[in-house]
Amino acid sequence: MWPSIITIDNFLDEADLTAIHDKIATSGFVDGHVSAGGPNLGVKHNQEMATGPGYVEVVKLVERAVKTNIELNYTVFPRAITRSIVSKYEIGMSYGMHIDAPVMGFMAQSAAFGSFGQNYVRSDFSMTVFLSEPESYEGGELSFDSPWGEHKYKLSQGGAIVYPTGLPHEVVPVSYGTRLAAVLWLQSMIRDHEQRRLATDVNRLVRQLMEKDPESPETLLAMEIAANALRTFADV
């Protein structure tokens, strides 16, 4: 079965997008190789927002959206997230076919402060938040390789795509304009895919029943099942 890819429209609202673009406009960018390693180093050709006050504010806005987005929280069940990388792709830039690291922070441990293993995040899901309108650039699609061919995504500004880390994917070359995006990784409370899908389906049922009759016996029973499923499956 082809793994689930989740798209979320309006993950960031207009106010967040305006604030993010203000910070990007007044911040510098560095070579994207600073966050690449191993075989990915040779296929990554982009830029990343330099660390500084503006970058910190962008990270906070994206993290707030992760914490408050209902669809994300009841499909991924985030346990931990990495800091966002704000990437820029200009004409001719791309990120060739690659697979994201299975544990974020692992290979950077030799340069890290603190005890061994601190700040590790198991990358169950990868996430891209699009920060440019699709008509403002050509190329730059997020493309996945599968036994059934390519799957390409180019979402509206503020839209997000979440996919299981481990899927081969690439950012195809940009031929016009500038592609901006925030990229981060998430560790789920529920590691097993089938258990997570069951918890997601039950919570989806709860939301549907809540819309019809929030106080019905069926709604209350579904809420009980959803709570017990998460309590049983969650690893926290």
Three-state secondary structure of 123-153: CCEEEEEECCCHHHEEECCEEEEECCEEEEE
* 181, 27 contact by CB (below 8 A): no
Q: Does residue 1 belong to any structural domain of this protein? A: no
169 shares a domain with 83? yes
How many domains are contained in the chain? 2
Assign residue 77 a region: left if phi > 0, alpha if psi is -120 to 50, beta otherwise? left
State the residue range of the domain holding 151: 6-188
201 shares a domain with 184? no
169 shares a domain with 103? yes
168, 188, 208: which is the final residue of a domain? 188
Q: Does residue 89 belong to any structural domain of this protein? A: yes
80 shares a domain with 38? yes
Q: Does residue 143 belong to any structural domain of this protein? A: yes
65 closest CA partner among 167, 142, 136, 162: 162
pLDDT, tens digit only, all 236 positions of the chain: 445 899 999 999 999 999 999 999 999 999 998 887 777 788 999 999 999 999 999 999 999 999 999 999 999 999 999 999 999 999 999 999 999 999 988 655 444 444 555 579 999 999 999 999 999 999 999 999 877 778 999 999 999 999 999 999 999 999 999 999 999 999 999 999 999 999 999 999 999 999 999 999 999 999 999 999 999 999 98
200 shares a domain with 144? no
56 shares a domain with 115? yes
46 shares a domain with 86? yes
Q: Copy the structure tokens of residue 78.
A: 């985030």
Assign residue 206 a region: left if phi > 0, alpha if psi is -120 to 50, beta otherwise? alpha
We report the CATH number of the domain holding residue 41 as 2.60.120.620
224 shares a domain with 137? no
15 shares a domain with 125? yes
What pLDDT, on the 0 to 100 scale, is given for residue 73?
Answer: 96
175 shares a domain with 64? yes
Centroid of chain to Cα 157: 14
149 shares a domain with 122? yes
Q: Does residue 227 belong to any structural domain of this protein? A: yes
What pLDDT, on the 0 to 100 scale, is given for residue 17?
Answer: 98
210 shares a domain with 175? no
